[in-house]
Structure 1
Amino acid sequence: MTPTTYHRASRYLHWAMAALIFYMVFLGWTLEDKDGGLFSRYQMHKSVGFLILALTVVRIGLRLAYKAPPEIEGPKWQMAAARLVHIGFYVLMIGLPLTGWALVSTAKVPVPTLWFGVVPIPHLPLSHDLNDVFHNLHGLFAKLIFYVLIPLHVGAAIMHHFIHRDDTVTRMLPGLDPKPAILKSALNYRWLLPLVIVIGAFVGATFLMRGAKPVAAPVVAEAEQSPDSSTEASAEISPESVVVADDASTSASQAASEESTALPTWVVNKSASYIRFATTFNGEGIRGGFGAYTADIVFDPQQLDKSSATVVIDLASVNSGDAMRDDSLTGADFFGVAQHPKATFKSTTFTKTGPDKYLAKGKLTLHGQTKPFNLPFTLKITGDTALMTATARLNRLDFGVGSGEWAATDAVPAEVSLDLKVSAKAK
């Protein structure tokens, strides 16, 4: 027998997917808000996208398994347009999630996807050079479905139900009066209630995510060095860490002023020194360091008022153990080395805070921003050899490091842990 309505499962899927698509449109708008819940909304956006992809495949299977009601007769152009819109929805409901998947897979920063926080979704084996292509394609598909297909589909349904008064809408909503008076039909739309509840729940959940205060992930600290470790052993860290190694080259200090000629200048042994940082990404520890830097140090514990230190770091030398992540760190969203290739810490004010303990008060220039920065450190001098160690915390957002979606702190915390070790000889 020829059916007069779509199969029940197809009808349920139709309205469920309509709610999900409208929710995705709303959620996409909120991705422009750079607040603390941005990362959570991105994860929800990806999860719902994969859900729509799965439901579309099920919907196609149901369409093949169960016979659809016959087309409503009308002008040929209207029937052709209806078929094109119908096909267009299927193409875009598959194309949007797939281009989104490709967009995530080709991003410079490999952000893992957990489907509703549980099931890991692997990245597609695609070149990162295609990221812009998939970004533009995904945006085009989103505009087509929202600004073209949805208005055409909804407008045609309204026209068929209220003007032509045929059975087009009742095939997807059995029980409606196929030839209603306009006011009576509007008042009898009790089927809108569950749809409003579904959309309202998603919208409410999104507002909650936007307003929720993110919990900053703990910063991973470096493991302490064993006191009996040799100089060479202390320079070795775990595979996730980065050893800032170089030839035993030295960096001669600039000529000091006549006042401080009596102060020793210190030449850094880079093979026994390092500048490291530690942070987290989605709770996973990330450690890195910088392989190229210069240190200009004139220091005497007995003449702190005449001491000075200037450290210049080549930010392009960052190494976090992942080349793709390093490309992102040097890019415009983070360090922006094209415009700001160096980070500089300069101090001319030192205070002794305890036995072998000091505080360097100075200014740090990073990402084009110069701000006061204090560095507490421990210094032990044995003969002509000095060993300085220091740990500190830096708020990356104070310097504008991490823009766009990375300005949120739910994926990458604002605070970054710094770990320094400098071994030097007096010149």
Structure 2
Amino acid sequence: MPTRACLAVSGLLAAGAASAGWHGEHTASRLDFVARFMGDAVPGRFTDFDVALSGEAAAGAQLVVSVRTAGAVFDSAEVTAAVRDAAWFDVAQFPEARYEAALEARGGGRFFAHGTLALKGVQRAIEVPIIWREQADGAHLVGEFAVERGWFGIGTGSFEATDEVAAEVRVSFDVRLRRDE
């Protein structure tokens, strides 16, 4: 009986090790975005987010990114406070945005993440090109993509028009990953 128990535990541990993945190192990662107001770039960043990748960086691996919307910051404290309101991120009602995707390998460390972005109560299919750079001490996920703020009801009421605040928002990221232990 003890032999069977040891084999069962060994099997569970091996299965867990085989499915171990990667997690983002928050302090060494960036999740930035650029909106445009009256044609001028208005850069911001998210300061509170988590990234997890199941298994290895290979076709079919699952990527999950969770972003606390109250962590959106700009150079201006006034703008930072404003984007928390209901017309923008509505952080009281929608404290988290989430992106869940499966990776499609393109060769040479390049992938497409095919997934769904849930933001402010709206879900939308989003494809994100990713470059995977593995290093001795971890890996980096690097990429850039664009979204339309109107898809998610970002900027409602008098901010809905795109003549002052552009429709497109550019998002870029450089996420440092460590293997799960």
TM > 0.5 between the two? yes
Q: Match of 2:151?
A: 398
- Aligned-residue offset at 1:321: 1.0
- Letter in structure 2 aligned against 1:345: Y
CA distance in 1 between counterparts of 2:26 and 2:50 reads 10
User: 5+ unaligned residues in a row in structure 2: which ranges?
Assistant: 1-13
User: Which residue identity lines up with residue 65 of structure 2 in the other structure?
Assistant: V
Can you give the 5+ residue segments of structure 1 that lack an aligned partner in the other structure? 1-257
Alignment check: 8 A CA contact 1:299 1:309 kept:
no
**Alpha-carbon distance between aligned partners in 1 of 2:19 and 2:110, rounded to the nearest angstrom:** 19
Query: Is 1:293 aligned to residue 49 of structure 2?
Result: yes
Superimposed CA distance per residue, residues 251-303 of structure 1 (whole angstroms, 9 cap, x where no aligned partner): xxxxxxx967413421322222110000211122100001111222214134x
Residue 339 of structure 1 aligns to a residue whose secondary structure is coil
* % identical aligned pairs: 25
Q: Which amino acid aligns with 1:414?
A: A
Confirm or deny that 1:344 pairs with 2:101.
no
Q: What does 1:185-224 align with in structure 2 at a 5 Å threshold?
A: none
- Look up the match of 2:135: 382
Greater RCO (Cα-Cα under 8 Å, separation 6 or more): 2
AA partner of residue 294 (structure 1): D
How do residues 21-420 of structure 1 correspond to structure 2 at under 5 angstroms? 261-302=17-58, 304-305=59-60, 307-347=61-101, 349-420=102-173
More strand by share: 2
Q: 1:375 Cα shift?
A: 1.1
The alpha-carbon distance between structure 1 residues 370 and 410, as it changes in their structure 2 partners (threshold 3 A), is: same
Letter of the structure 1 residue corresponding to residue 19 of structure 2: L
Per the alignment, residue 174 of structure 2 pairs with: 421
Can you list the C-alpha shifts for 1:392-419, whole angstroms capped at 9, x where unaligned?
Answer: 0011101111111111001111110001
Which letter maps to 1:346? E
Is 2:103–2:113's contact at 8 Å kept on the other side of the alignment? yes
CA distance in 1, matches of 2:15, 2:159: 47
| Equivalent residue runs for 1:1-20 within 5 Å | none
**Secondary structure at 2:83 match in 1:** helix
Higher alpha-carbon Rg: 1
Instruction: Provide the rounded CA distance (Å) in 1 between the counterparts of 2:57 and 2:178.
Output: 15
Cα deviation code 1:114-135 (max 9, x no counterpart): xxxxxxxxxxxxxxxxxxxxxx
Q: TM-score, normalised by structure 1?
A: 0.38
More helix by share: 1
**Deviation digits for residues 318-346 of structure 1, max 9, x if unmatched?**
11111111121110111111111110011
**Distance across 2 between alignment mates of 1:340 and 1:267:** 24
Q: In the alignment, is the contact (CA less than 8 A) between 2:104 and 2:112 conserved in 1?
A: yes
Pick closer, same or farther for the CA change 1:329–1:262 going to 2, 3 Å. same
Quote the offset at 1:354 in angstroms: 3.1
In the alignment, the residues of structure 2 paired with residue 381 and residue 281 of structure 1 have an alpha-carbon distance, to the nearest angstrom, of: 37
Q: Cα deviation per residue 1:62-98 (whole Å; 9 max; x = unaligned)?
A: xxxxxxxxxxxxxxxxxxxxxxxxxxxxxxxxxxxxx
- The amino acid across from 2:78 in the alignment is M
Paired residue for 1:67? none
Amino acid at match of 1:344: R
Question: How many equivalent pairs are there?
Answer: 167
The residue type paired with residue 387 of structure 1 is H
Aligned counterparts of 2:65 and 2:57: Cα–Cα separation in 1: 19
Residue 26 of structure 2 contacts residue 50 of structure 2 at CA under 8 Å; is this kept in 1?
no
